[in-house]
Amino acid sequence: MLVRSRRAWELPESEVTPEGVYLRRRELLAGLAAGPALLAAACGPASAVEEEPIAPELYPAPRNDTYQVDRPPTAEKDATTYNNFYEFGSHKQIWKDAQALRLRPWAVTIDGLVEQPMTLDAEELIRKMPIEERVYRLRCVEAWSMTVPWSGFPLRALIDLARPLGDAKYLKMTTFMAPDVAFGQKQPWYPWPYVEGLTLAEARHDLAFIATGIYGKPLPRQNGAPLRLAVPWKYGFKSIKSIVRFELAVERPKSFWEIIQGGEYGFWANVNPEVPHPRWSQATEKVLGSGDVVPTLLYNGYAAEVASLYEGLDGESLFM
């Protein structure tokens, strides 16, 4: 058990036999043995695919040319079929399993230290927001990267709806909990639900974006529908998917990966090629969909925009 749970923590999963694959294969075999009834049940969630997409009339959204990347965009197929989304398993091929996620109804709560706590329907919220397209880099802590055209809106616009109180210092974000369809959430050695956090200054930064679409279309489930964070100067695990709650707080939240393995995945997690992960170098990255290995950039190429957020924080582990 101990060995197994230690393996489940380890990134990159490519270094070990992905436990998720093993477990699902066993479930599948059990299902086949049990006959048609179970197979029918296993096919049940596929009906979720027939749900209307969320606010499809908003896409493609107008491009904001302030946010461009000097690399070609990753092929849509690669970005939508090679994913990290542990709620659906710890391997990269979760995109099919993720289709079981139901997007309606989807309540989003903004609460904690705010003047006006609120719960809104995701589609209603998204339709209130100024949707635009931005091309961002995404750098996974496992040393691979993508370039993605997201559609969405500044995180600041969402926070401002609820009007944070003066003593709020952090934003805590939480992913859905639905172990009936997200089988990864049945693995009790993970601290579900997935949680991430930012300082309020980070959350209000121009680059902090809530993505609701990708490649000029509504966001697919495997990429974190109906809404997920995109903070491109940080390692990918900070960009939490399928968010249900935004909570303003005085205390720094403990994030999912920090609880699992705080010595390897910290709160700040800013990209820095000179600070290795304890088990591998961060100096270079594999460009997803190409054979290229390229140098990693400080703050993933966004140093000019974000470095000032970290002035006076020298005592903190900013790059882990």
Ligand X SMILES: Nc1nc2c(c(=O)[nH]1)N[C@H]1C(S)=C(S)[C@@H](COP(=O)(O)O)O[C@H]1N2
Residues forming contacts to ligand X in the complex (CB under 6 A) are 83-87, 138, 140, 175, 194, 223-224, 236-237, 239-242
Identity of the residue, 31 or 254, whose beta carbon is nearer to ligand X in the bound complex: 254
236 binds Mo ion (CB under 5 A): yes
Q: Tell the smallest beta-carbon distance from residue 194 to Mo ion (Å).
A: 12
The two tokens of residue 154 are 């500044």
Nearest to 250 by CA among 84, 112, 108: 112
Q: Tell the smallest beta-carbon distance from residue 12 to Mo ion (Å).
A: 9
Assign 64 to helix, strand or coil.
coil
Contact pick of 110, 114, 131, 140 for Mo ion (by CB under 5 A): 140
Q: Which does 240 bind (CB under 5 to 8 A by kind): Mo ion, ligand X, none?
A: ligand X
84 binds Mo ion (CB under 5 A): yes
Identity of the residue, 6 or 163, whose beta carbon is nearer to ligand X in the bound complex: 6
Write the Ramachandran bin of 215: left for phi over 0, alpha for psi from -120 to 50, otherwise beta.
Answer: left
Applying CB under 5 A, which part among 61-69, 106-114, 233-241, 286-294 lies near Mo ion? 233-241
Q: Tell the smallest beta-carbon distance from residue 288 to Mo ion (Å).
A: 11
Nearest to 172 by CA among 193, 199, 153, 190: 199
Element (H, E) at 32: helix 19-34
Q: Tell the smallest beta-carbon distance from residue 9 to ligand X (Å).
A: 13
Binding marks (x or -) toward Mo ion, 91..130, rule CB under 5 A? ----------------------------------------
Write the Ramachandran bin of 134: left for phi over 0, alpha for psi from -120 to 50, otherwise beta.
Answer: beta
Q: Which does 131 bind (CB under 5 to 8 A by kind): ligand X, Mo ion, none?
A: none
Q: Tell the smallest beta-carbon distance from residue 104 to Mo ion (Å).
A: 28
Q: What is the torsional sign of CA 267, 204, 157, 71?
A: negative
Alpha carbon distance 30, 106 (integer Å):
32
DSSP character string of 138-161: EE-TTSEEEEEEEEEEEHHHHHHH
Give contact residues for Mo ion (rule: CB under 5 A).
84, 140, 236-237
